[in-house]
Amino acid sequence: MKKMKFMILLLAVIGMFTACENDKFYYQDEARVRIEGPYEWAVGTDSLTFSFAVYPSQVQEQEMEMKLYVMGEAASTDRTAKLVKDKLLTTADDAQYVLPETVTIPAGKLEAPFIVTLKRTPDLTSSTVSLYFKVVETNDFKAGVIEQNHFCIKWNDTLSKPKNWDTELLEFFGEYSLVKYRFIIDTLGFGEFSATSMSWSELTNYKIIMITALDEYNDAHPDAPLKDENGQLVTF
């Protein structure tokens, strides 16, 4: 009998702690929403940093798929959540991003995706900007837990020398320069290379592609062959 009473008490205590833990993401008395960033960029955090630098110059925008999660029960009607930027913590100009003012959570649903679009602007080559936004109260929702009622995105277009250039890439692409690296990214469509995940023949093939692309560029610009930031001719 004593053992039975102990088990009942233990289960009650466990249940109490479980309820407290669940309360962090669940409200019975009032509906709230919380923000989650893109899974591949910011799972479990309230911020992310993105760089346009390793993307071809033709890429002028990047869409970040975010999600709003309801902390409570589903409703029988559509509900609206509101997002606003924090003017004090945001350094990006309005022209550098698109942030939806409202997000609709459909009837019967507990989540809804929304897109934040980042713009690639010339000043990003020498600076990093940020967008800090948060959930504000509406007739349908209140802001969720403080850890996830806001989100911060930082982005730039600052190209830097890969750490493995001198140890792995020098053999295939020659001496590093910013102009050369940008030319490689614009030609191949990507800028991350690794001798551990790529074979010697694969990297050699990329070198051949770059030699051909450089020849074509210089043939098309006989009076202005490709030169790096130091005025030296780019070679592979």
Read off the pTM: 0.75
Q: Please give the pLDDT value at position 83.
A: 95
DSSP characters over 60-71: -EEEEEEEEEEE
Given the candidates 2.60.40.1510, 3.30.70.1710, 3.20.20.70, 2.40.50.140, the CATH classification of the domain at 32-156 is 2.60.40.1510
Parse the chain into domains and list their residue ranges: 32-156, 165-220
- Report the chain's mean pLDDT, rounded to a whole number: 87
Instruction: Return the bridge partners of 103, or none.
Output: 81
CA distance 138 to 214: 57
pLDDT digits (tens, 9 = 90+) for 69-116: 988 889 999 999 999 999 999 999 999 999 999 999 999 999 999 999
CA distance 214 to 231: 16
CA distance 57 to 125: 12
Q: Please give the pLDDT value at position 111.
A: 94
**Residue 184 · residue 210 · CB < 8 Å:** yes
**Residue 165 · residue 174 · CB < 8 Å:** no
Long-range CB contacts for residues 5-13, cutoff 8 Å, separation at least 24:
none
Dmax (CA) for the chain in angstroms is 97
Successive 10-residue mean pLDDT values, the chain, 236 residues = 48 43 50 83 78 93 94 90 96 98 94 97 95 91 76 94 94 96 96 92 97 98 96 96
Close Cβ partners of 11 (under 8 Å, ≥ 6 residues apart): none
pLDDT digits (tens, 9 = 90+) for 214-235: 999 999 999 999 999 999 999 9
CA distance 67 to 47: 13
76-100 burial string, b = 16+ CB within 10 Å, else e? eeebebbbebeeeebebeeebbebe
Q: How many CA atoms lie within 13 A of 122 on its CB side?
A: 0
H/E element, 213:
helix 200-220
**Residue 144 · residue 33 · CB < 8 Å:** yes
